[in-house]
Structure 1
Amino acid sequence: MTYPIRPISEEEWPQFSGVLAEGFNWTPHPTQTERWKANTEFDRTLAAFDGDLIAGVTGIHTFSMAVPGGMLPVAGVTAVSVLPSHRRRGILSQIMRRQLADIRERGEAVAALYASEAIIYGRFGYGRAADSLALRIPTHRSAFTAAAPSDPSLRVRVVRPADVRPVLEELFAEVVARRPGRYARDEGFWNMILADEEFDQQGAGSLRAILVEDSSRARGYALFRVKGNWGEYGAPDGELQLRELHATDPAAHALLWRAVLDRDLVTKVTADIPVDDPITQLLADVRQLHPRWLDDLWVRLVSVDAALTSRAYSAPVDVVIEVADDVCPWNAGRWRLTADTGSAACKRTDEAPDVSLPVSALGGAYMGAGSLVAQRSAGLLTEHSAGAVHALATAMSWSPAPWAGWVF
């Protein structure tokens, strides 16, 4: 069947949010629903209708997101769900195809999302573009290496997040472009990040913050909650849940980590961090990270030529790429990418391909993490010219590693 698809009106919000509640098995607090509604761009929603019933939904956040070399307009895909009663009818496919066409018409070359299930979005051309580490560090085994940086001018200040919101916003704006995948935050996103009602706390206490400052300015902050606990014999056994940590320089970063690891009555710190976060180098015993790998951001090139032209490259490359894309057929075919560390061009060509690959492979490499060589080894793409995959992977690689850092 073909289902009518269109943006919803504000009056249709209860039905729209109801589909998400069913799809994600979630019962939000009414205040959470209102926050979510306030951060919804209604003109960028889509709903599939079965008569008067909304059967499937999605939406977009209009982002300015860091990519290698700068900031780029990116469609942040969110709120994707189908009613359990309407699964296996092609509704998701129809919505996703319509959404990608709308993104292209709007002039955005890249879409990104967090996947509820990693198996879903590859079939729509999204590639795993960033990874994350979930850590559980025992504080009594968290000593730093002797070479850890320090700055005697820095001090730690305990603050209420709401009291220093302008400082937090300014610090984040200063560092956002340094790591591909992070995105600029508007007022609505900050409202959600700093939300601290009882239902936000989930038994882990109030949102807390520390600032690291010198005599003239703040140079970093951490947001966290502490879930207090006492062991069987009365010993403290609290868990500090680190929500985010951002710093302008290595010494501030190290001091922030030291401040959360040394908090009284806490025996473990949990956090989700980039795979190359400095803490992975600062701990004297790296095994105490107890890391668990997770996929983070998934990226889709909506317009291959514009996307590849809009990012920076780490090395010169001149390669003809044959792209397979049955969802966005305007991307399919051969493209010649010519780039160096200062500029890039991507144009249609009839030349013989050096590499043939699915568009999802380019999405997975777009933010700089790169899996092209591994995909060649796995037989998931084809190299026609010796060395072409390595050259393309080297050019598209970037440091630091991509990471979005906050689910949208």
Structure 2
Amino acid sequence: MQALPTDHWPSFYTAVLSALCETEPQEATDLWRTLAEPQRCFVVEDRGAFIGTASLLSLRMTVPGGRLVDTGGSTMVSVQPTHRGRGVLDALMRHQLASLQRRGVPLAALTASEAPGCGRFGYGVAARQLSLDVASSRVRIAGHSAGGDAVELTVEDPHESLGACEEFYARQVPLRPGMLARTDGWELLPLLDPPAWRQSASPLRCVVAWMEGEVVGYARYAVAVGWSRTNLAEGVVRVRDIEARDPGTYATLWRFLLETELTSRVIAPDRPVDEPVLHLASDIRHCTPTVLDNLYLRVVDAPVALTARTYATGLDVVMEIHDDLAPWNRGCWRIEGDAGGAVCTRTYDAPDLSLDASALGSAYLGGVTLTELAGAGRVREHRPGALTTTTTAFASAVAPW
């Protein structure tokens, strides 16, 4: 296994796409070339060909309490079909984990092409996503949220409005666990809009919400016009992003999307599971929500990660961690904390709870409860009451995403 020479990026990315049986527009390939970090791309070779690939991205993720924590984004992990089942994937994932530990990065995250393999590397589902398919011809935004009448909307070119929208996005990042701060170049990823990806829809659009000259929200979307055999409009609004400062702005943006002319559906495929629109819709039965797995999280350095976040209530618990791939995490750790901060130190006291690395990854952001993991046999309670108090302390007021 070796780090990728800088001038070998085209071969590296070709190997990734080949292993995943994918093709990609040149615009996407060019952007990922600027975002990837060649010194953190790893390859396994056989007879001069890349038969295994993996890459790490330098990310910063919000954790409960609002702090941004260094996170390794595991991506472009692939093994050629001719070499699967030979331990190449295991070697790549172990190498990534060791690399992050050496660099002092306490968390790793990924979104999975295939879910079954993540658990054995210590990744757990930490955030889910809500996919909405709203029959906008049958649904209205009920009532008027406070402040909505003062909101003004303008439809703007997504590139021209990028600066103002990104400033607003940056203010939203600390408010929800799982959100990522964007460094230079990453702001272009939400605007990536190759014609081959549009599914007969329009180019990407952006509606910006203003109040007293200040941006208070925005939504990026595209419209696919369609007609029924009886000449009824059946267009679809495809929502890519929606961010709002307050309920009034949020309701105004959703009302705009639902009332787009010549459309009968609004599809929002990647939203938080606590999306408020479900409580604004006049008829929830025409919203068709589907919950899917989204972010998988791996705790690389347990004491650093558990100290970095805060806890909803006072907590003093001894947690035993089982971690086959990261021996430095194994053993018992005392977590003492509250909403103001926390410390996590190694202890030889008897554990109150025990769990493995993937269960800890699932519970870390507060979106998956320790209680539900215990119901699946993945968390064991040794001291009566410890499970309830720790579950309460690990909770997040908003769903991670």
Find the partner of 1:350 among 348, 351, 372. Answer: 348
| 1:291 alignment partner in structure 2 | 289
State the Cα distance separating 1:25 from its structure 2 match: 1.2
Find the partner of 1:31 among 20, 27, 34. Answer: 27
Unaligned runs of 5+ in 1: 404-408
Letter in 2 for 1:109: P
CA distance in 1, matches of 2:333, 2:46: 40
What CA RMSD, in Å, does the superposition of the two structures yield over aligned residues?
1.3
Q: How many residues align?
A: 399
**Deviation per residue, 1:35-73 (Å, 9 max, x gap):** 211111111111112242211111111111111112111
Letter in 2 for 1:188: G
Further displaced range: 378-387 or 293-302:
378-387
CA distance in 1, matches of 2:93, 2:309: 25
| 2:98 alignment partner in structure 1 | 101
Q: 1:265 to 1:75 in 2, by over 3 A?
A: same
Tell me if 1:154 matches 2:144.
no
Secondary structure class of the residue paired with 1:187: coil
Find the partner of 2:201 among 190, 199, 204. Answer: 204
| 1:229 alignment partner in structure 2 | 226
Secondary structure class of the residue paired with 2:71: strand
Letter in 1 for 2:38: F
For 1:281-360, list aligned pairs within 5 A.
281-360=279-358
For 1:85-164, list aligned pairs within 5 A.
85-146=82-143, 148-164=145-161
Secondary structure class of the residue paired with 1:297: strand
| 1:254 alignment partner in structure 2 | 251
Tell me if 1:57 matches 2:56.
no
Normalising by structure 2, we get a TM-score of: 0.97
CA distance in 2, matches of 1:127, 1:195: 29
State the Cα distance separating 1:194 from its structure 2 match: 1.2
Find the partner of 1:41 among 37, 41, 48. Answer: 37
CA distance in 2, matches of 1:244, 1:252: 14
Letter in 1 for 2:303: D
CA distance in 1, matches of 2:262, 2:396: 39
Further displaced range: 19-28 or 350-359:
19-28
| 1:378 alignment partner in structure 2 | 376
| 2:187 alignment partner in structure 1 | 190
Contact 1:48 / 1:56 at 8 angstroms: preserved in 2? yes
Q: 1:372 to 1:384 in 2, by over 3 A?
A: same
**Deviation per residue, 1:282-322 (Å, 9 max, x gap):** 11322222011101101000000000000011011111111
| 1:406 alignment partner in structure 2 | none
Letter in 2 for 1:374: E
Letter in 1 for 2:24: P
Letter in 2 for 1:12: H
| 1:277 alignment partner in structure 2 | 275
Unaligned runs of 5+ in 2: none
Contact 2:25 / 2:194 at 8 angstroms: preserved in 1? no
Contact 1:230 / 1:237 at 8 angstroms: preserved in 2? yes
